[in-house]
Structure 1
């Protein structure tokens, strides 16, 4: 250990002697350079970063230090730093962005349109889907439609077609209309009968009439009035569901059979065969008539028609995607923000509230 100590002292002595051979300018430049590096290392922003002015100062001071001495000094910046940075800048300027091989990708909006058409129409193949964007003046090839569907994980048409009972019944619902005659007792204990028709496909309700004594001729006339109100839409009806009341006579059925409608009477004690009409009666009683004291036929006519308008134009339906029957074809309103005002409309004296956005 003593020999090693003597060796280190000898090496340090020779280093001190070598300093006398160096000029004062070289030693001062090295001292300034080391002090500048120390000042940069002491900056509060870790890790220390060299600005362009720091690099210029270091490069200027190192020019006064010999090349042999530069290799012995711990340097953070060399005279080559600025030229190297300049060469990188030149390389970055003349480097062109690389392009992917093949055709450029289709716009995202077009891809979303193809996926939407495939999901909303399970029976359409890629050739049928290709025809819709072409009709909308969108430039797309049939092979591109196929590749978009494959990337989205959508199976071909036969595999994604839904053949369940629910889909089958929904497809038949547009041609089915149900009718029912229910009663309401007034505040004076007088019974009134309300005849209505409801479409299975749209859930739209039509109040045909209100009477105290339902008879066969009266129901037959109300059936004629209903078909006249439908106009050309009556040709789309294929089935009529009704109960087995004695007031539904053969003349009532003949009005619908004349335009090709098949009348289907419900079985005895099977209310589920006319469940949609029964459900509307429950909603009307629970939300309107059971919460109001009906004084007479005119009052009942006002309450029932007001509720039918609310039911058709505003009340949401789960089977229709929480949309009312009268707004199935209208566009959905824009999403409300924190500053969107909401207004309320009262129906039946505040018994029913309707809310909408203020334009």
Structure 2
């Protein structure tokens, strides 16, 4: 009821204004558009104007009287602020200078240099620079040397030698480690899992589960491992285990008969075995044993 009264009153005022001021259709349309703009401004965050919007509004501001700026989104102070911003950009553009030193190499060019150095260990910095010139890249030998040093790549004569990383990786492919894990089932029964893992790939070659591990059972698992090594094609030269009494002498004799050298872990070393073995095998062993 109140809304109908307000609407009727507003309609009456518009009729009076139409008679007194003789509003024309364009003027009424302008009032409607201005009110729509106020509604949008109340519901939407303040819009961000780009350079084109600022240019158009600044140019049209001279065509509008000062009294008409009251309902505008942009005020005269805003236009003056745009002008001050343009003046600051003009003078700061002249003051911008590149920092000291040479510009950094493009990431793709850095990758190309590192790839050349790794694929061609006998190429020095001068040779790499010459090959880059053939491809249209101008890079100094000093920049190449700094890039290689930053990525821990040695000079050409030493780069062709066997690195410690390559040596250890080659030895790891011939090493098998073994260890015991304990798993408690849902019936509160403890089972013991022996696993044999290839050190290079962290692949479990053989594992077995029992509730009573003894030296005879471990020796039998050593024979099973030797058979499995021949099946999967792993040329093991070393086997590493701790000083657990369950290994005894029987399993070591089985490995030595197959030409595999047995190496004991250091004494008083709490974590000599690969730390990832427990995380790798324990979930699978728990599921297999039903715990």
TM-score class, shorter: 0.3 to 0.5
- Whose Rg is larger? 1
- TM-score, normalised via structure 1 length: 0.38
Structure with higher helix content = 2
- TM-score, normalised via structure 2 length: 0.46
